[in-house]
Amino acid sequence: MTTTFFGAIADDFTGATDLAAMLARAGVPVTLRIGLPEAAAATTATAFEVIALKIRTTPPEEAVAEARTACRWLRERGARRLFWKYCSTFDSTPRGNIGPVADALMSEMGLDRTVHCPAFPENGRRVFMGNLFVGDRPLHESPMKDHPLTPMRDANLERLLAPQVQRQTGLVPFPTVRQGAETVRDALERLSGHVVLDAVEDADLATLAEAIHDMPLVCGGSAIAQPLPALWRAAGAMGATDDSPLPEAGSGQIVLSGSCSAMTRAQVGRYLDHAVGYRLDPLELAEGGFGDARAWLRAQDPAARKIIYATAEPKAVAAVQEKLGVGRAGALVEDALAQLAQDARGLGIRRIVVAGGETSGAVTRALDVDRLRIGPEIAPGVPWCFAGDGLALALKSGNFGAETFFDDAFAMLDAGTAAPAA
């Protein structure tokens, strides 16, 4: 039986998927769990476990309690490297939850030092002299300054952490990072508490990964995780991973789209050139339910290319929202797509692509999926996920993927390229 080597606790679902995709890219088998896993030891664990919680903006006490439970679950299964995954824009308030959870995990693991590395240069998130930049702007001048739940009003990570944590903060600055892994290690030896790591380019992340790969707890964005598996393997730390093949995807296919983001609109338009489609209209849903959509779905060949979508232009969305309210319009569409996903499974359809972050959450819940094995990426950050029973899910948030994403996704399964990247 495989014991867990690496365990991550992510503060939201898409963050967890992002990290899981990064690790899968590094060629290790990864399981993503949605919500706190059952305490029952009967659940088998894999070498790389990522637990998706929803604790980014919950009260800190709740976030800490859930993270501690997840931490214990992972350590009981043997995890020797833990990762606290938060957003690369450091989404938090003066109360938390980045700091309180990091503090709690340190206490849980008996540590007096951890590192914080949110840098994700590929996505324009860079840390220089402790200050986080988004593109060419410091964090507090980026659009994150107006975030409805976690407005970021400072770019200095030590200052942001200080009110959130009980331990002291420190920094390994850029000039030290540029001197190489040995120098970073020496600098870390002299620091305790929460140490912020500068990184401007991927090469800096490689240096940092070399310096910190044997630390029991790393906190940060997903980018620092990608170089770690190769280092663990080289150091002989990792042991055997369970390279059992990914479950086979069953047959039958459908796209369900509840995203109105610009890229999804282009993807839906492109797909409709050669797929059959059914458009969900929230006003009709409000009046008459989605019986017609269900009947349409039943009449289709399970194997045919097809899409059910509520995707609409901003003007149409605004008009609907004005009539129904934002919340009700969203809920009507999400409920309909969730039920249609259940119908599709009942009709034998096993390959399901979902567009929309919230929509993906609604569909996964409706399908009662609590555990996903991560396959290779269709597009950066969007892997095929295997839920057992032949069910394969691709969960795409709004602006991800190329215009041909839906075809790309199914083509990958058809070609059998969704084999583990071992």
Is residue 340 near ligand ADP by the rule CB under 6 A?
no
Element (DSSP H or E) covering residue 69: helix 60-76
Q: What angle do CA 221, 170, 130 make, to 5 degrees?
A: 55
Q: Which stretch binds ligand ADP (CB under 6 A): 80-88, 244-252, 265-273, 351-359?
A: 351-359
Q: Which of 111, 51, 103 is nearest to 76 (CA)?
A: 51
Contact between 79 and 190 (Cβ < 8 Å):
no
Q: Which stretch binds ligand ADP (CB under 6 A): 67-75, 102-110, 124-132, 313-321?
A: 313-321
Residues 379-408 contacting ligand ADP, CB under 6 A? 397-398
Contact between 316 and 287 (Cβ < 8 Å):
no
For every residue of 364-387, DSSP letters joined together read HHHTT--EEEEEEEEETTEEEEE-
Q: Which is nearer to ligand ADP, 243 or 322 (CB)?
A: 322
Q: Which is nearer to ligand ADP, 217 or 256 (CB)?
A: 256
Q: Which stretch binds ligand ADP (CB under 6 A): 115-123, 150-158, 198-206, 353-361?
A: 353-361
Residues 235-264 contacting ligand ADP, CB under 6 A? 258-261, 264
Least Å from the CB of residue 258 to ligand ADP: 4
Q: Which of 297, 312, 367, 394 binds ligand ADP (CB under 6 A)?
A: 312
Least Å from the CB of residue 21 to ligand ADP: 16
Q: Which is nearer to ligand ADP, 226 or 267 (CB)?
A: 267
Q: Please state, as a whole number, how many other Cβ atoms lie within 10 Å of the Cβ of residue 277.
A: 16
Q: Please state, as a whole number, how many other Cβ atoms lie within 10 Å of the Cβ of residue 240.
A: 9
Contact between 7 and 217 (Cβ < 8 Å):
no
Q: Which stretch binds ligand ADP (CB under 6 A): 3-11, 74-82, 287-295, 309-317?
A: 309-317
Residues 49-88 contacting ligand ADP, CB under 6 A? none
| Strand-pair partners of 336 | none
Is residue 17 near ligand ADP by the rule CB under 6 A?
no
Q: Which is nearer to ligand ADP, 127 or 337 (CB)?
A: 337
Least Å from the CB of residue 143 to ligand ADP: 15
The separation between the first and the last C-alpha atoms of the chain, rounded to the nearest angstrom, is: 18
Cα 152 from Cα 131, distance rounded (Å):
12
Contact between 367 and 391 (Cβ < 8 Å):
yes
Contact between 135 and 126 (Cβ < 8 Å):
no
Binding site for ligand ADP (CB under 6 A): 258-261, 264, 282, 310, 312, 317, 320-321, 329-330, 333-334, 356-359, 397-398
